Amino acid sequence: MNPRSVLDDVLAAAPQAIDGAGSLEDLDRVESALLGKSSTIGDVRRSMGGLDSEERPRVGIRLKEVTEQIHTLLAARRSVLEVEDEARRLSDDSIDVTLESYGFPRGSLHLIQQTIDEIVDIFVGLGYLVADGPEAELGWYNFDALNTPPTHPARLESDTMYLDYGDPSDELLLRTQTSPVQVRWMEEHEPPVYVVVPGKVYRQETTDATHLPVFHQIEGLAVDDSIRFSDLKGTLAHFSRQFFGPRTEVRLRPHFFPFTEPSAELDVSCFNCEGGVPGCRVCGGAGWLEMLGCGMVDPNVLEAVGYDPEQLSGFAFGMGVERMAMVRHGINDIRHLVNNDLRFLRQF
């Protein structure tokens, strides 16, 4: 058959093959079938040498035309397929934000953290700063600088957990109270001081309904040039009314702490019965709830941090976070707070 009519047949059949390619990969295969080495056009190209000198240029011209037209058809189909391909990839990737998702249950802060936040917020509202300190503490900060002599029973291994680490004379221990942060803060800052310190404390303690070996305290410290006992009482009364309700009364009972003089315990009037209803489930009929320890900072503590007790005075207090939460919510066993039973935790 005449090579030119062979080429015409190829060109006539090309559009159907090209438009039939459903993907870019198909189109590549169609392209090599039409134009590649083993295609009909390839055969014609190879046979050129055997044509006579008259026919050869004609076939050559037709070969070029046919090849160009096939390229044009391929390019047109390729651009259609590329647009389709892009659209498909975009739709495969797209996110339908209206689709329902898996229900991830929403968590909430643990009651202990909620209680810390609430108490700290009340003092921040009075202008206090928030401080923290190490849980592994030196004997100096936990005891000595807080006017607690080496013979004090709290220092016994039966009460305090000592760490077998470093120089034994450092008495590295797990802090039994947040009070050492009073000392650390005053060492690093000039007066006036108004800070609260939430944190974990550790004691050698047998777990029962009111004791855990690890619990939380919030320490408070105010040191300024004219702080009086009435400032302590007024501050704690304000705090108690914010936390337990506006009708709350407070009273201070004499007590002893090594780092305060005088020292006291703060009682708040029972927010449930408001004063001694027999058998009240919150206060048991006493009418008062024991809340925290406090007092005027002992001059020895001020001296230990290099403050002048002749110029400065202050008050301090320390409360147990778990106890605050238990009283407030009528929780009768401290272990509920650490058992991680969701039926308990979800109530708050």
For residues 192 and 145, the answer to whether their CB atoms sit within 8 Å is: no
Angle formed by the axes of helices 3-19 and 24-35, to 10°? 180
Please select the residue that binds ligand DAH; options are 194, 202, 215, 257, rule is CB under 6 A: 257
Binding string, residues 205-244; x marks residues near ligand DAH by CB under 6 A: --------------x-------------------------
Q: How far is the CB of 130 from ligand DAH (least distance, A)?
A: 16
Helices (H), the chain: 3-19, 24-35, 40-47, 55-93, 111-124, 139-142, 180-188, 229-244, 299-304, 321-329, 342-345
Instruction: Find the shortest distance in angstroms from Cβ 189 to ligand DAH.
Output: 17
| 260 near ligand DAH, judged by CB under 6 A | yes
At residue 221's C-alpha, the angle toward residues 251 and 189, to 5°, is 165
Q: Can the peptide bond before residue 192 be classed as cis, meaning omega within 30 degrees of 0?
A: yes
Strand bridging mode 193-202 / 129-130: parallel
Strand-pair category, 288-297 with 260-269: antiparallel
Q: Given candidates 316, 327, 331, 334, which one binds ligand DAH under the rule CB under 6 A? A: 316
Q: Indicate which single residue of 179, 235, 240, 313 sits in contact with ligand DAH (rule: CB under 6 A).
A: 179
* Residue 262 C-beta: closest distance to ligand DAH, Å: 10
Contacts for 330-336 with beta carbons within 8 Å, 24 or more apart? 330/272, 330/281, 330/282, 332/209, 333/209, 334/209, 334/210, 334/211, 334/212, 334/215, 335/207, 335/209, 335/212
Identify the residue among 7, 294, 312, 327 touching ligand DAH (CB under 6 A).
294
Shortest Cβ distance from residue 203 to ligand DAH (Å)? Answer: 9
Q: Does 67 bind ligand DAH (CB under 6 A)?
A: no
Q: Which stretch binds ligand DAH (CB under 6 A): 11-19, 103-111, 121-129, 310-318?
A: 310-318
Which residues touch 263 (CB under 8 Å, ≥6 apart)? 254, 255, 256, 257, 293, 294, 295
If binding means CB under 6 A, how many residues of this protein chain bind ligand DAH? 11
Q: Is 139 in the site for ligand DAH (CB under 6 A)?
A: no
Smallest distance, ligand DAH to C-beta of residue 153, A: 13
Choice from 3, 133, 198, 293 touching ligand DAH (CB under 6 A)? 293
Decide if residue 295 touches ligand DAH (CB under 6 A).
yes
Do residues 224 and 192 touch, judged by C-beta distance below 8 A?
yes
Minimum distance, C-beta of residue 327 to ligand DAH, in the bound complex (Å): 16
State both tokens at 174.
Answer: 């797990």
| Candidate ranges 76-84, 243-251, 273-281, 287-295; the one touching ligand DAH (CB under 6 A) | 287-295
- Which residue has 């020895």 as its token pair? 300
Q: Least distance to ligand DAH from the beta carbon of 169, Å?
A: 24
196 touches ligand DAH (CB under 6 A): no
Task: Kindly indicate which of the ranges 117-125, 156-164, 291-299, 300-308 contains the residues binding ligand DAH, using the contact rule CB under 6 A.
Answer: 291-299
Residue closer to ligand DAH (CB basis): 199 or 295: 295
Contact between 160 and ligand DAH (CB under 6 A)?
A: no
* Residues whose CB falls within 8 Å of the CB of residue 347, separated by 6 or more in sequence, listed in order: none
User: Cis omega (within 30 of 0) on the bond before 262?
Assistant: yes
Least Cβ distance, residue 118 to ligand DAH (angstroms): 19
Q: 55 CB contacts (<8 Å, ≥6 apart)?
A: 3
Residue 177 touching ligand DAH (CB under 6 A): yes
User: Least CB distance from residue 297 to ligand DAH, whole Å?
Assistant: 7
Footprint of ligand DAH on this chain (CB under 6 A)?
A: 177, 179, 219, 257, 260, 293-295, 316-318
